[in-house]
Structure 1
Amino acid sequence: MKTTVVAGNPKPGSRTLDAATHLATELTGSAPDHVVDVITLGPGLLGWGDDAVKAAVDTVAASDLVVFASPTFKAAYTGILKLFLDQFATGDGLRDVTAVPLMLGAGPAHALAPDLLLKPVLVELGATTPAPGLYLLDSTYTTDTRIADYAQRWAPVLRSTLRTEAR
Protein backbone atom coordinates (compact mmCIF):
# COMPACT_ATOMS: atom_id res chain seq x y z
CA MET A 1 0.00 0.00 0.00
CA LYS A 2 1.34 3.41 -1.00
CA THR A 3 0.31 6.23 1.36
CA THR A 4 0.70 9.95 0.72
CA VAL A 5 -0.02 13.08 2.72
CA VAL A 6 -0.96 16.31 0.95
CA ALA A 7 -0.86 19.43 3.12
CA GLY A 8 -2.29 22.64 1.70
CA ASN A 9 -1.11 25.15 4.26
CA PRO A 10 0.51 28.44 3.22
CA LYS A 11 3.20 27.81 5.86
CA PRO A 12 5.73 25.04 5.13
CA GLY A 13 6.17 22.43 7.84
CA SER A 14 2.84 23.40 9.40
CA ARG A 15 0.67 21.88 12.11
CA THR A 16 -1.60 20.83 9.24
CA LEU A 17 1.22 18.75 7.79
CA ASP A 18 2.01 17.33 11.22
CA ALA A 19 -1.61 16.34 11.90
CA ALA A 20 -1.99 14.77 8.45
CA THR A 21 1.21 12.78 8.86
CA HIS A 22 0.08 11.60 12.28
CA LEU A 23 -3.32 10.57 10.86
CA ALA A 24 -1.74 8.65 7.96
CA THR A 25 0.54 6.86 10.40
CA GLU A 26 -2.35 5.94 12.70
CA LEU A 27 -4.43 4.68 9.76
CA THR A 28 -1.70 2.46 8.31
CA GLY A 29 0.66 1.66 11.15
CA SER A 30 3.63 3.25 9.39
CA ALA A 31 4.82 6.64 8.23
CA PRO A 32 3.48 7.81 4.86
CA ASP A 33 5.52 6.86 1.82
CA HIS A 34 5.30 10.38 0.39
CA VAL A 35 4.57 13.87 1.68
CA VAL A 36 3.50 16.76 -0.53
CA ASP A 37 3.77 20.06 1.34
CA VAL A 38 1.99 21.98 -1.41
CA ILE A 39 3.39 25.42 -0.57
CA THR A 40 6.89 24.19 -1.42
CA LEU A 41 5.81 23.73 -5.05
CA GLY A 42 5.80 27.52 -5.40
CA PRO A 43 4.67 29.47 -8.46
CA GLY A 44 4.52 26.34 -10.62
CA LEU A 45 1.03 25.84 -9.16
CA LEU A 46 -0.24 28.89 -11.03
CA GLY A 47 -0.10 27.22 -14.43
CA TRP A 48 0.25 23.85 -16.06
CA GLY A 49 3.35 21.97 -17.09
CA ASP A 50 5.67 22.60 -14.12
CA ASP A 51 7.86 19.52 -13.61
CA ALA A 52 7.76 19.57 -9.80
CA VAL A 53 3.99 19.98 -9.73
CA LYS A 54 3.55 17.20 -12.29
CA ALA A 55 5.75 14.88 -10.22
CA ALA A 56 3.67 15.64 -7.11
CA VAL A 57 0.42 15.06 -9.01
CA ASP A 58 1.74 11.77 -10.39
CA THR A 59 2.79 10.66 -6.90
CA VAL A 60 -0.64 11.42 -5.46
CA ALA A 61 -2.50 9.81 -8.36
CA ALA A 62 -0.42 6.63 -8.01
CA SER A 63 -1.13 6.36 -4.28
CA ASP A 64 -3.59 4.00 -2.67
CA LEU A 65 -4.44 6.14 0.37
CA VAL A 66 -4.06 9.92 0.53
CA VAL A 67 -4.77 12.24 3.45
CA PHE A 68 -5.66 15.67 2.02
CA ALA A 69 -5.26 18.30 4.72
CA SER A 70 -5.91 22.00 5.03
CA PRO A 71 -6.33 24.57 7.74
CA THR A 72 -9.71 26.26 7.79
CA PHE A 73 -9.44 29.67 6.11
CA LYS A 74 -12.57 31.81 5.82
CA ALA A 75 -14.71 28.73 6.54
CA ALA A 76 -13.15 26.75 3.66
CA TYR A 77 -9.98 24.93 2.64
CA THR A 78 -7.05 27.02 1.42
CA GLY A 79 -6.50 28.44 -2.03
CA ILE A 80 -3.09 26.78 -2.16
CA LEU A 81 -4.76 23.37 -1.83
CA LYS A 82 -7.30 24.36 -4.49
CA LEU A 83 -4.48 25.31 -6.88
CA PHE A 84 -2.97 21.86 -6.39
CA LEU A 85 -6.28 20.03 -6.79
CA ASP A 86 -6.92 21.96 -10.01
CA GLN A 87 -3.94 20.11 -11.52
CA PHE A 88 -5.91 16.81 -11.50
CA ALA A 89 -8.25 15.79 -14.30
CA THR A 90 -11.93 15.99 -13.43
CA GLY A 91 -13.58 12.60 -13.09
CA ASP A 92 -10.54 10.36 -13.04
CA GLY A 93 -7.52 12.34 -11.81
CA LEU A 94 -7.79 10.55 -8.46
CA ARG A 95 -9.24 7.31 -9.78
CA ASP A 96 -8.40 4.34 -7.54
CA VAL A 97 -7.27 6.68 -4.75
CA THR A 98 -8.93 6.36 -1.36
CA ALA A 99 -8.95 9.85 0.12
CA VAL A 100 -9.36 11.18 3.64
CA PRO A 101 -10.29 14.86 3.98
CA LEU A 102 -8.74 16.49 7.06
CA MET A 103 -9.11 20.07 8.21
CA LEU A 104 -7.83 21.94 11.25
CA GLY A 105 -9.39 24.99 12.82
CA ALA A 106 -9.37 27.22 15.87
CA GLY A 107 -12.83 26.23 17.09
CA PRO A 108 -15.70 23.85 16.45
CA ALA A 109 -17.77 26.22 14.28
CA HIS A 110 -16.46 24.67 11.05
CA ALA A 111 -16.50 21.02 12.09
CA LEU A 112 -18.46 20.02 8.98
CA ALA A 113 -16.05 21.73 6.57
CA PRO A 114 -14.12 18.57 5.61
CA ASP A 115 -17.33 16.84 4.52
CA LEU A 116 -19.15 19.85 3.09
CA LEU A 117 -16.28 21.54 1.26
CA LEU A 118 -13.24 19.32 0.73
CA LYS A 119 -14.81 15.89 0.25
CA PRO A 120 -16.99 16.91 -2.75
CA VAL A 121 -13.93 18.20 -4.64
CA LEU A 122 -12.06 14.94 -4.01
CA VAL A 123 -15.07 12.94 -5.25
CA GLU A 124 -15.34 15.20 -8.31
CA LEU A 125 -11.74 14.26 -9.12
CA GLY A 126 -12.57 10.55 -8.90
CA ALA A 127 -11.39 9.69 -5.39
CA THR A 128 -13.17 7.17 -3.20
CA THR A 129 -14.06 8.73 0.16
CA PRO A 130 -15.81 6.03 2.22
CA ALA A 131 -15.23 7.60 5.64
CA PRO A 132 -16.30 10.96 6.99
CA GLY A 133 -13.76 13.75 6.97
CA LEU A 134 -11.94 14.62 10.16
CA TYR A 135 -11.93 18.07 11.74
CA LEU A 136 -9.37 18.80 14.44
CA LEU A 137 -8.80 21.74 16.74
CA ASP A 138 -5.32 22.96 15.96
CA SER A 139 -4.71 23.69 19.65
CA THR A 140 -5.53 20.19 20.93
CA TYR A 141 -4.87 17.65 18.16
CA THR A 142 -1.54 16.65 19.74
CA THR A 143 -3.07 16.01 23.17
CA ASP A 144 -6.56 14.66 22.50
CA THR A 145 -7.43 11.21 21.15
CA ARG A 146 -9.37 12.29 18.07
CA ILE A 147 -6.82 10.99 15.54
CA ALA A 148 -6.45 7.63 17.28
CA ASP A 149 -10.22 7.31 17.72
CA TYR A 150 -10.82 8.12 14.05
CA ALA A 151 -8.20 5.61 12.94
CA GLN A 152 -9.61 2.86 15.13
CA ARG A 153 -13.12 3.44 13.78
CA TRP A 154 -12.38 4.08 10.10
CA ALA A 155 -9.11 2.32 9.17
CA PRO A 156 -10.87 -1.00 8.44
CA VAL A 157 -13.36 0.76 6.17
CA LEU A 158 -10.60 2.64 4.34
CA ARG A 159 -8.49 -0.51 3.91
CA SER A 160 -11.48 -2.34 2.42
CA THR A 161 -11.57 0.15 -0.47
CA LEU A 162 -7.89 0.01 -1.37
CA ARG A 163 -7.08 -1.52 -4.73
CA THR A 164 -3.43 -2.28 -4.18
CA GLU A 165 -3.50 -5.31 -6.47
CA ALA A 166 -4.14 -3.02 -9.45
CA ARG A 167 -0.90 -1.07 -8.90
Structure 2
Amino acid sequence: MTVTVVVGNPKPASRTRTAAGLVARGLRPDVEPAVLDLVELGPALLGWGDPNVAEAVRAVADSKLVVFASPTFKATYTGLLKLFLEQFDGGTGLASVVAVPVMLGAGPVHALAPDLLLKPVLVELGATTPAPGLYLSDKTFAEDGVIDAYADRWGPVVRALSRSTESVNHV
Protein backbone atom coordinates (compact mmCIF):
# COMPACT_ATOMS: atom_id res chain seq x y z
CA MET A 1 0.00 0.00 0.00
CA THR A 2 1.44 3.32 -1.05
CA VAL A 3 0.18 6.58 0.39
CA THR A 4 1.59 9.74 -1.16
CA VAL A 5 1.35 13.40 -0.26
CA VAL A 6 1.71 15.82 -3.19
CA VAL A 7 2.55 19.32 -2.01
CA GLY A 8 1.92 22.23 -4.37
CA ASN A 9 3.39 24.98 -2.21
CA PRO A 10 6.22 26.98 -3.84
CA LYS A 11 7.93 27.16 -0.43
CA PRO A 12 9.90 24.04 0.54
CA ALA A 13 9.07 22.37 3.88
CA SER A 14 5.88 24.45 4.13
CA ARG A 15 2.92 24.38 6.49
CA THR A 16 1.03 22.86 3.55
CA ARG A 17 3.42 19.92 3.61
CA THR A 18 3.01 19.51 7.37
CA ALA A 19 -0.79 19.67 7.18
CA ALA A 20 -0.99 17.22 4.27
CA GLY A 21 1.21 14.75 6.13
CA LEU A 22 -1.10 14.96 9.14
CA VAL A 23 -4.13 14.35 6.92
CA ALA A 24 -2.50 11.33 5.25
CA ARG A 25 -1.50 9.84 8.61
CA GLY A 26 -4.98 10.50 9.99
CA LEU A 27 -6.65 8.73 7.08
CA ARG A 28 -4.18 5.82 6.90
CA PRO A 29 -2.37 5.60 10.26
CA ASP A 30 -1.05 2.18 9.26
CA VAL A 31 1.10 3.57 6.41
CA GLU A 32 3.88 6.17 6.45
CA PRO A 33 3.23 8.46 3.48
CA ALA A 34 5.78 9.26 0.82
CA VAL A 35 6.07 13.01 0.25
CA LEU A 36 6.46 14.69 -3.11
CA ASP A 37 7.24 18.37 -2.58
CA LEU A 38 6.71 19.74 -6.09
CA VAL A 39 8.95 22.74 -5.52
CA GLU A 40 11.86 20.28 -5.71
CA LEU A 41 10.97 19.55 -9.35
CA GLY A 42 11.02 23.26 -10.13
CA PRO A 43 11.38 24.31 -13.79
CA ALA A 44 11.34 20.68 -14.95
CA LEU A 45 7.54 20.87 -14.61
CA LEU A 46 7.39 23.42 -17.43
CA GLY A 47 8.25 20.92 -20.16
CA TRP A 48 7.57 17.35 -21.14
CA GLY A 49 9.80 14.33 -20.82
CA ASP A 50 11.90 15.23 -17.79
CA PRO A 51 12.87 11.90 -16.18
CA ASN A 52 12.41 13.16 -12.61
CA VAL A 53 8.94 14.47 -13.38
CA ALA A 54 8.05 11.25 -15.20
CA GLU A 55 9.14 9.22 -12.16
CA ALA A 56 7.08 11.45 -9.85
CA VAL A 57 4.04 11.00 -12.09
CA ARG A 58 4.51 7.21 -12.05
CA ALA A 59 4.90 7.16 -8.27
CA VAL A 60 1.68 9.14 -7.78
CA ALA A 61 -0.27 7.10 -10.35
CA ASP A 62 0.87 3.88 -8.64
CA SER A 63 -0.21 5.11 -5.19
CA LYS A 64 -3.44 3.88 -3.66
CA LEU A 65 -4.14 7.05 -1.67
CA VAL A 66 -2.88 10.50 -2.57
CA VAL A 67 -3.41 13.69 -0.59
CA PHE A 68 -3.09 16.60 -3.04
CA ALA A 69 -2.38 19.75 -1.03
CA SER A 70 -2.00 23.40 -1.90
CA PRO A 71 -2.19 26.75 -0.22
CA THR A 72 -4.95 28.98 -1.53
CA PHE A 73 -3.35 31.43 -3.98
CA LYS A 74 -5.58 33.94 -5.78
CA ALA A 75 -8.67 31.97 -4.67
CA THR A 76 -7.46 28.66 -6.15
CA TYR A 77 -4.67 26.06 -5.94
CA THR A 78 -1.17 26.97 -7.06
CA GLY A 79 0.19 26.98 -10.58
CA LEU A 80 2.87 24.60 -9.35
CA LEU A 81 0.25 21.95 -8.60
CA LYS A 82 -1.51 22.70 -11.91
CA LEU A 83 1.75 22.14 -13.83
CA PHE A 84 2.16 18.76 -12.16
CA LEU A 85 -1.43 17.70 -12.78
CA GLU A 86 -1.02 18.59 -16.46
CA GLN A 87 1.47 15.72 -16.70
CA PHE A 88 -1.30 13.09 -16.24
CA ASP A 89 -3.46 11.66 -19.01
CA GLY A 90 -7.06 12.85 -18.84
CA GLY A 91 -9.55 10.28 -17.65
CA THR A 92 -7.00 7.60 -16.83
CA GLY A 93 -3.90 9.18 -15.30
CA LEU A 94 -5.13 8.69 -11.73
CA ALA A 95 -7.52 5.80 -12.43
CA SER A 96 -6.43 3.59 -9.52
CA VAL A 97 -5.96 6.43 -7.03
CA VAL A 98 -8.17 7.46 -4.14
CA ALA A 99 -7.54 11.21 -3.95
CA VAL A 100 -8.16 13.73 -1.19
CA PRO A 101 -7.98 17.44 -2.07
CA VAL A 102 -6.63 19.64 0.74
CA MET A 103 -6.16 23.39 0.71
CA LEU A 104 -4.96 25.84 3.34
CA GLY A 105 -5.88 29.48 3.70
CA ALA A 106 -5.91 32.42 6.05
CA GLY A 107 -9.67 32.56 6.51
CA PRO A 108 -12.95 30.85 5.69
CA VAL A 109 -13.73 32.88 2.57
CA HIS A 110 -12.25 30.17 0.30
CA ALA A 111 -13.51 27.16 2.27
CA LEU A 112 -15.19 25.65 -0.80
CA ALA A 113 -12.06 25.88 -2.97
CA PRO A 114 -10.96 22.24 -2.50
CA ASP A 115 -14.34 20.96 -3.71
CA LEU A 116 -15.03 23.59 -6.36
CA LEU A 117 -11.58 23.92 -7.89
CA LEU A 118 -9.25 21.03 -7.07
CA LYS A 119 -11.59 18.05 -6.78
CA PRO A 120 -13.01 18.39 -10.34
CA VAL A 121 -9.51 18.27 -11.83
CA LEU A 122 -8.68 15.12 -9.86
CA VAL A 123 -11.93 13.50 -11.02
CA GLU A 124 -11.18 14.54 -14.63
CA LEU A 125 -7.88 12.68 -14.33
CA GLY A 126 -9.72 9.54 -13.22
CA ALA A 127 -9.21 9.66 -9.45
CA THR A 128 -11.82 8.44 -7.01
CA THR A 129 -12.63 11.23 -4.55
CA PRO A 130 -15.04 9.75 -2.00
CA ALA A 131 -14.71 12.42 0.67
CA PRO A 132 -15.30 16.15 0.55
CA GLY A 133 -12.27 18.33 0.07
CA LEU A 134 -10.67 19.62 3.23
CA TYR A 135 -10.00 23.31 3.84
CA LEU A 136 -7.71 24.14 6.74
CA SER A 137 -6.66 27.30 8.50
CA ASP A 138 -2.98 27.77 7.78
CA LYS A 139 -2.50 29.12 11.31
CA THR A 140 -4.48 26.65 13.45
CA PHE A 141 -4.59 23.30 11.57
CA ALA A 142 -2.13 21.62 13.93
CA GLU A 143 -4.26 22.15 17.03
CA ASP A 144 -7.84 22.99 16.02
CA GLY A 145 -9.01 19.36 15.71
CA VAL A 146 -10.29 19.72 12.13
CA ILE A 147 -7.90 17.08 10.75
CA ASP A 148 -8.80 14.60 13.51
CA ALA A 149 -12.53 15.12 12.95
CA TYR A 150 -12.09 14.69 9.18
CA ALA A 151 -10.04 11.51 9.67
CA ASP A 152 -12.60 10.10 12.12
CA ARG A 153 -15.47 10.77 9.69
CA TRP A 154 -13.81 9.89 6.36
CA GLY A 155 -10.95 7.57 7.34
CA PRO A 156 -13.08 4.39 7.24
CA VAL A 157 -14.35 5.24 3.74
CA VAL A 158 -10.90 6.16 2.42
CA ARG A 159 -9.31 3.05 3.96
CA ALA A 160 -11.95 0.76 2.50
CA LEU A 161 -11.68 2.24 -0.97
CA SER A 162 -7.89 2.43 -1.02
CA ARG A 163 -7.74 -1.22 0.05
CA SER A 164 -10.29 -2.23 -2.58
CA THR A 165 -8.32 -0.54 -5.38
CA GLU A 166 -5.24 -2.36 -4.12
CA SER A 167 -6.91 -5.77 -4.36
CA VAL A 168 -8.44 -4.99 -7.77
CA ASN A 169 -5.06 -3.98 -9.17
CA HIS A 170 -3.36 -7.13 -7.92
CA VAL A 171 -5.90 -9.66 -9.19
The answer to whether the superposition gives a TM-score over 0.5 is yes
SS in structure 1 opposite 2:74? coil
SS at match of 2:41: helix
Q: Which residue of 2 is the match for residue 6 of structure 1?
A: 6
C-alpha separation between the residues in 2 aligned to 1:64 and 1:19?
A: 19
The amino acid of 1:164's aligned partner reads: E
Q: Matched residues in 2 for 1:119 and 1:62: separation? A: 19
**Whole-angstrom distance in 1 between the partners of 2:126 and 2:22:** 25
Map residues 6-155 of structure 1 onto 2, 5 A cutoff: 6-30=6-30, 32-155=32-155
Find the aligned partners of 2:56 and 2:153 in 1 and give their Cα distance.
29
Q: TM-score, normalised by structure 2?
A: 0.95
What's the counterpart of residue 164 of structure 1?
166
Pairs aligned (count): 167
Q: Secondary structure at the match of 1:126?
A: coil
Give the CA RMSD over aligned residues. Answer: 0.9
Identity of aligned residues (%): 63
Runs of 4+ deviating beyond 6 Å: none
Q: Which stretch has the larger CA shift, 33-42 or 10-19?
A: 33-42
Question: Does the 8 Å CA contact 1:21/1:31 hold for their aligned counterparts?
Answer: no
Q: Distance in 2 between matches of 1:30 and 1:78?
A: 30
Distance in 2 (alpha carbons) for counterparts of 1:159 and 1:128: 12
TM-score (norm 1): 0.97
